[in-house]
Amino acid sequence: MPLTARNSRLDVAADLLSLLHATTTEPRHDQQLEALTLAVAADLPVLLWGEPGIGKTAALQQLAASLELPLTTVIASVHEPSDFSGLPVVGDDPAVQGVPMAPPDWAVRLVREGRGLLFLDELSTAPPAVQAALLRLVLERRVGALKLPPGVRIVAAANPRSSAADGWELSPPLANRFVHLLWLHDHDVVVRGLGGTWPRAVLPELDPRRLPEAVAFARRAVCGFLAVRPALVHQLPAGEPRRGGPWPSPRSWEMALALTAFATAAGTSREVLSMLVRGTVGDGPGLELLAFLDRMDLPDPETLLADPAAAALPERGDLRQIVLDGVVEAVRKRPDRQRWDAAWAIMARALETGPPDLVVVPAGSLAALRQADWDVPATIGRLAGAVSLSRRADRAGARVVAAAGSGR
């Protein structure tokens, strides 16, 4: 077969491949992509955990293209420790000038560009010696004697040890330097992407007017939480597998504070903030911090008692219950007739604006605080019917459950 004919057929094959690779992007709400871009905006190293073939590499390629950042991919498992710590180069007078550590070519290219996305792939297959060499790169952005410019962001990917080829557990010092995000496939995203349209990664839009407020809120939240939970400032997990994931330390709390500030300035959803915080300090401490954030926004019981008519109660049932219990506790600590009447007005407002069952327990506790010379306020009449109905419903439900349990 003539060479020109063979080349012609390859050219046609290349044209077909070009058509297959030609895809577009579209704005689409994707929580894990939003969490990734927020962490990248905060200039924090991110580690994507996911099974092989889940699309981690493709997501990073699309992220780099969307952010117009040159992508540099380094397969950590096929490199030697010296590839990250630098190779010694002996000069003319090493006794005077020392022996510099020469960086690899990919690091030089990143410095030359001044910006870029460094993708450390297959991190969980890197042996311990390579992981140790990566510590300085991930935290200090240094490769040998070279310091990467501020415009370089670092994202890594890893497979769980159960599905990694000759996988290793991540060392605790290296794991504690990352924001860990679990990467899962979305059926709709995959189907639409295979059809030629993938979601577009967009950096969060930060409100310049909210920046000081966001920083103050994040500092107040994290510092206030750790003040009441000092045991969580540093808590190295007992089991080796958990040490290779997110866990609380002063370093990871600093990252959680930064992410809270960025999420606040960007108006990020609670779900995305939850992914980021739990990916930084772990599930348990992260969920506790989120609960603390909820309580920070709750109104002060004394403010509510001072002006019951203007009382704004939370929509969420659990938070509303906390506020009503707080009002009763405030009256218990400093009881007087005026405060007791104000508390009943708040209970009535809660009944008007939310489920009546949330008022049952605090109303009963508030009634128990009545002193002999206190007249019953008129608002109690409005509450009595709802409380009685709720209690009857509870008793009826209990009878249904008991009957079902006895087989009747």
Each residue's pLDDT tens digit, 353-371: 888 888 888 888 888 888 8
For residue 211, the model assigns a pLDDT of: 94
Range of weakest confidence among 128-132, 252-256, 386-390: 386-390
Contact at 8 Å (CB) between 157 and 48? yes
* Residue range 382-405: mean pLDDT, rounded: 52
Predicted confidence band of residue 86 (pLDDT cuts 50, 70, 90): confident
Q: What per-residue confidence (pLDDT) applies to 396?
A: 44
Average pLDDT rounded to a whole number, residues 155-169:
76
Instruction: Kindly tell me if the per-residue pLDDT of 200 is higher than 90.
Output: no
Mean pLDDT of the chain: 84
Q: What is the pLDDT of residue 24?
A: 85
pLDDT value at residue 290: 93
pLDDT digits (tens, 9 = 90+) for 21-59: 888 888 888 889 999 999 999 999 999 998 888 888 888
> Sorting pLDDT into bands at 50, 70 and 90, what band is 220?
very high
Residue 170 reports pLDDT greater than 80: yes
More confident residue, 89 or 393: 89
pTM for this model (two decimals): 0.75
pLDDT score recorded for residue 339: 92
CA 3/CA 1 separation, integer angstroms: 6
pLDDT at 390: 47
Share of the chain above pLDDT 70, in %: 86
pLDDT at 389: 45
Q: Higher model confidence: residue 326 or residue 399?
A: 326
